[in-house]
Structure 1
Amino acid sequence: MEHLIIRPAGIADAEQLQQIGRQTFQETFAASNSEENMRAYLATGFALDKLMAELQHPGSAFYLAELAGAVVGYLKVNTGAAQTELQAENALEIERIYVLQQYQGQHVGQRLYEQALALARQARADYVWLGVWEENRRAIRFYQKNGFVAFDKHVFCLGTDEQTDLMMKLPLTASY
């Protein structure tokens, strides 16, 4: 595989982030959800004004994975009040790791995950947590392989469909 670059995303990347976000979400979940619910979520979850606000939030950060200048995946992490649920000062949330289907299995997701861990260690977080759809077996296996354990559940609304996400956590050692 060519040299993968992971770089911070900024305001100038908003449209590119919107495109990769919609495409990867569609590839990952369209087969398991109704077209109507997918359309509704893609319109609101990746609305440009929403992404702009997230990009400007001091507790959120996006990173783009690029191969030969093309964006092939991305990462979104949250700390403090930007976290979607726990909002613990000593934690980092991985809200999204998504990779284009054609690049899955090529360690892009692993590299984005490692970026998230590096950010957690820089922030001296005690743990990293995330929510993952209980039907997304591939992602669950990925996180389990990386040491995450389920500790709770929460509801994620995809359009009008209330789905269950497993909440998973990875404690970090205090030896930074």
Structure 2
Amino acid sequence: MTNIEISKVQIGEIAQLQQIARQTFTETFSAFNSEENMKNYLEEGLSIEKLTSEFQDQEAAFYFAIENEKCIGYLKINFGNAQTELKDHTALEIERIYVLQAFHGKGVGQLLYDHAIAIALQKEVQYVWLGVWEQNHRAISFYTKNGFVAFDKHIFKLGDDEQTDIMMKKIM
């Protein structure tokens, strides 16, 4: 693996963030969901307006994984009220870790994950949590390997499809 840099996304990079978010989401989930549900999520959930709003939240942060000046993945973390569900001020949520399919198995996701954990340690949170689709066995295995345990479930709506996410956490 060549040198991969993790860099905080800047306001002028929202279009690049949208591009990597849409590409990785499509690669990860298009085979399991209807074209219409995918299209709706990409247009609404990953619109420039929505990403800009998320970016401007002081309790959320985005990071790119960059290799040879090319974005190959990204991370989104949330604190406090930016968290999607628990809103626990003693926790950090990893909302998204996505890596281009061509880079799966090359340690990029681990680098993004390690960056999130370093921030969690710096912020002295008590635990890190996340939600992962119950059908995403690769991700569940990754988080289990990194010390996460399932503690609950919640529904993630993708268009008109209600999907179950397994909520996992790791005590710090």
Q: Which residue of 2 aligns with 1:32?
A: 32
SS in 1 for 2:150: strand
- What is the CA RMSD across the aligned residues, in angstroms? 0.4
Mapped to 2, the partners of 1:2 and 1:131 lie a distance apart of: 30
Specify the alignment match of 2:133 in structure 1.
133
Q: Partner of 2:128: helix, strand, or coil?
A: strand
> Counterparts in 2 of 1:43-122, with a 5 A limit?
43-122=43-122
SS at match of 2:124: coil
Aligned mates of 1:3, 1:14 — CA distance in 2: 23
Structure 2 gap ranges (5+): none
How far residue 10 of structure 1 moved from its aligned partner, in angstroms, is: 1.6
Question: What is the CA-CA distance between 1:83 and the residue it aligns to?
Answer: 0.1
Q: State the secondary structure of the residue aligned to 1:86.
A: coil
Q: Which position in structure 1 is the counterpart of 2:162?
A: 162
Which amino acid letter does the alignment assign opposite residue 52 of structure 1? Answer: T
* Map of 1:21 onto structure 2: 21
Identity %: 58
Aligned to 2:152: 152
Take 1:42 and 1:85, find their aligned partners in 2: how far apart are those partners?
A: 21
User: Shift of residue 35 of structure 1?
Assistant: 0.6
Q: Which runs of 5+ in 1 are unaligned?
A: none
Give the whole-Å Cα distance in 2 for the aligned partners of 1:51 and 1:29: 19
Distance apart, 1:2 and its partner CA = 1.4
The residue type equivalent to 2:78 in the other structure is N
